[in-house]
Structure formats: C-alpha cells, structure tokens
Amino acid sequence: MDTSKLKILIKGCIDNDRESQELLFRMYSAKMFALCLYYSKNKTDAEDYLHNGFIKVFQKIKQYKDKGSFEGWLRKVFVNTILEDFRKMKIRSTEMEEANII
C-alpha cells in the first residue's frame, strides 16, 4: 500500500471508522500474530496478545506522528503491550507467592 493510501487508512482509524480498522487489522494481523507467537508460550496466548495489541493500537493511533515506518510503530506498540502483560503476570505471581508464605 502506498503512503497516501496508508495515511487515509490511519486517518479513518483515528476517526474510529470500523471499515478502516478492519482493513488495518487484515493488512497487519498475520505479521503481528507471528510477533505474538514469538513472545508467547502457545497459540492461545498469542491470540490474546494479538487482540490486546490491536486494541492498544486503535487507542494510541493518534500518537503516530508519520515519522519512520507505520509498521515499525505498530510493532513497538505490540511489543510494549506484550511486555506490559509479562510485568503484570510477574507481579501477580510474586503476590501469590507472598500470600502462600505468610
């Protein structure tokens, strides 16, 4: 997709246009799913990461400044979302361990 069409698509996503969001999802879901599989233990976790990642993308898409590649920005949002989930799991695990010790 050329950059002018991508800009129109991003603008549609900023405006919460469902068709634009669906098209963006279809364009990048396979690549982002591969990224999610890399970080996950199984397919189910990867699907959760994919879902959560796109939710975060649509929430933060206004922050994309058209500097660098959009796909690079997208990957960064996904990795940060996955790492945030890892931190939450670690905190929960630590809390559960402490609860069992006391």
Does position 1 have pLDDT exceeding 80, yes or no?
no
What band does 2 get if pLDDT is binned at 50, 70 and 90?
A: confident
Contact yes or no for 33/50 (Cβ under 8 A): yes
pTM above 0.75, yes or no: yes
Contact yes or no for 33/73 (Cβ under 8 A): no
pLDDT for the residue 101: 61
Q: How far apart are CA 79 and CA 35, in angstroms?
A: 8
Q: How far apart are CA 50 and CA 55, in angstroms?
A: 9
pLDDT, tens digit, 9 for 90 and up, residues 13-55? 999 999 999 999 999 999 999 999 999 989 999 999 999 999 9
Q: Which residue has the tokens 């969001």?
A: 21
